[in-house]
Amino acid sequence: MIDQDGTYSYSEIRAVKGMGTGTDFSIFPNPSSGTSRLTITDITPSTEVQVVDHAGRIVRTIRMHNTNSIEL
């Protein structure tokens, strides 16, 4: 991202995979300077979200129980 004054910064890499069912989701705000909210439609009781770092290591696993929205 390049600011108007010419300075720049890099954001963290984000990826979503394994949702081949056509499920809609959104992450807001994007980009974020802190927390973001993940909202997924049509979740099942076994819906699990894994947050991974840039090297592919799992840093957080979240099971979505009785909600379709979580804070990241």
Tell me what the mean pLDDT of segment 3-12 comes to.
74
What's the distance, CA 61 to chain centroid?
12
Asked if residues 70 and 60 have their Cβ atoms less than 8 Å apart, the reply is no
Token representation of residue 68: 């379709």
5 pLDDT higher than 60 = yes
> Which segment of 4-8, 12-16, 23-27 scores lowest on mean pLDDT?
12-16
Global pTM value: 0.55
Question: What are the extents of the domains in the chain?
Answer: 25-71
**Structure tokens, 62:** 């979240």
In 1-72, DSSP assigns E strands to 25-28, 37-40, 48-52, 58-63, 69-71
